[in-house]
Structures are given as C-alpha cells and as structure tokens.
C-alpha cells in the first residue's frame, strides 16, 4: 500500500508526515468491519473534513465574492454538495486507492458517488491533521476555484436577470438601463448603454442591439460587484 500512497500523495500535491492518516482516510467502514488491516474506518475523518471544507469554502467566498449572504450560501452549497465532491474525487482518482470490503468492491463501491464524496472529505481532514489549515486550504483551492468559476458561468448566462435578482435583495435599490449612444449605419449599428443603480453608473456595455448592450452592461456591473470572475 505504501507505493500506492506515494502515487496518491503526488496527485494530492501534499506529502504526509504520517502516511497512516492518509491510509485511514481511504479505509471504508466495510473494510474495517471485515477486520482486515486497520480496524478504524474513515467515518470520523469524514465528520471533521466536512467542517474543514465548509470553513475553507466560506472563507474563500467571503474574500472573493461580494454578493449578498443568500447568494454566498447557494454557491457554498454548490461547491460542497455530493455531486461536487464526487467530481473532485474523480479528478484525483480516489476510487483506485480506497480500501473496501469484498462485497462493497464487488458491487461497484469504488465508483459510488456517496463513497467517493465521503472519501474526499476524509482526505481533506487527514491533510488538515497532518499539515494544518493552510495545507488543507492549498489542497482545496485547486478544486474550489475551478468549480466556482464553472458554476458562475452556468448561472450568469442572463446577466440582466442575475443582476436584477441581486439588487432585489435590497428593495430600496433601483436599476435603470440608459441608452447613451448609437453609431454606425443602419445595417451595422452599435448601441452603448449604461446601467444605473440609484443614478450611479455601475456598468457600461456595447452591442449590435439595445438588448445586447444591456446584457454587456449588466455583465460588467456583476464583474465589478465580484461576480463572474
């Protein structure tokens, strides 16, 4: 197993001072219950890893995303849900290293999303215990930043609607799109639009139609507010 652990540590980008912690993080309860090797499963590490993951994710979003609390909560949930954790595990190939009971392995446990998601949490906790919070944060950032960017791209296709939803969190705020210029011949016109928040310009955009220019202005406003990076 030591050779396999070396391979996995290369994938993790972290070298364990105590490799036994990593082995424990890979030990599913079905393996431990069979009494093979280590008798302690990764369940306690999953518990800790869930909290470390939540804390690091919340800190990342707090510093990188200036959206309202409701939007931060939704994005955090998307970054730490089972589907996301399963994806992170697949990127690492964690299923190849899991210690599973015979029955669990024979029924596809190494590919089961819930088992892989739990294993990712356990590995996170193992890194935290072995190297501290900064080591865990460094490990997680490569996944969180990529997933957050992909989530924003999926969520922010309609920039005007997204901007409106954010501004509506504060009923006293008002948005207005103002046409500030037109140029070019009729067959190739260019429109320029500003989006105002309480009379303050928060974004400008150009497009071949007013709608396109408004979307561009809303996109710029979202970027200035910390979205869509």
The residues carrying an active-site annotation are 50, 121
Distance CA 119, CA 24 (A): 10
Q: Which residues pair with 192 in a beta bridge?
A: 181, 206
Q: What are phi and psi of 196, to 5 degrees?
A: -110, 140
Q: Is the dihedral of CA 10, 14, 15, 17 positive or negative?
A: negative
**CB 173, CB 167: distance < 8 Å:** yes
Q: How far apart are CA 223 and CA 29, in angstroms?
A: 45
Q: How many CB atoms lie within 10 A of CB 222?
A: 23
Instruction: Quote the CA–CA distance of 163 and 156 in Å, as a whole number.
Output: 9
Contact between 202 and 167 (Cβ < 8 Å):
no
CB atoms inside a 10 Å sphere around CB 47:
13
Strand spans (E) along the chain: 175-183, 190-197, 200-207
Sheet holding 175-183, edge to edge: 175-183, 190-197, 200-207
């Amino acid at each position: 197993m030591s050779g396999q652990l070396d391979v996995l540590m290369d994938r993790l980008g972290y070298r364990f001072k105590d490799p036994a912690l990593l082995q424990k993080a890979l030990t599913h309860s079905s393996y431990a219950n069979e009494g093979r090797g280590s008798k302690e499963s990764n369940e306690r590490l999953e518990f800790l890893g869930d909290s470390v993951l939540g804390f690091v994710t919340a800190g990342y979003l707090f510093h990188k995303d200036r959206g309202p609390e409701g939007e931060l909560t939704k994005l955090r949930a998307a970054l730490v849900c089972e589907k996301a954790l399963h994806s992170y595990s697949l990127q690492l190939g964690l299923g190849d290293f899991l210690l599973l009971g015979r029955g669990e392995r024979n029924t596809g446990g190494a590919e089961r999303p819930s088992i892989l998601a739990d294993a990712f949490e356990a590995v996170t906790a193992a890194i935290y215990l072995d190297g501290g919070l900064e080591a865990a944060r460094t490990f997680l950032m490569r996944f969180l930043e990529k997933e957050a960017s992909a989530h924003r791209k999926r969520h922010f296709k309609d920039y005007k609607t997204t901007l409106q939803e954010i501004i509506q969190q504060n009923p006293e705020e008002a948005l207005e799109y103002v046409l500030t210029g037109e140029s070019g011949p009729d067959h190739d016109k260019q429109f320029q639009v500003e989006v105002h928040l309480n009379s303050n310009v928060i974004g400008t955009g150009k497009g071949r139609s007013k709608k396109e220019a408004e979307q561009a202005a809303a996109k710029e406003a979202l970027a200035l507010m910390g979205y869509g990076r």
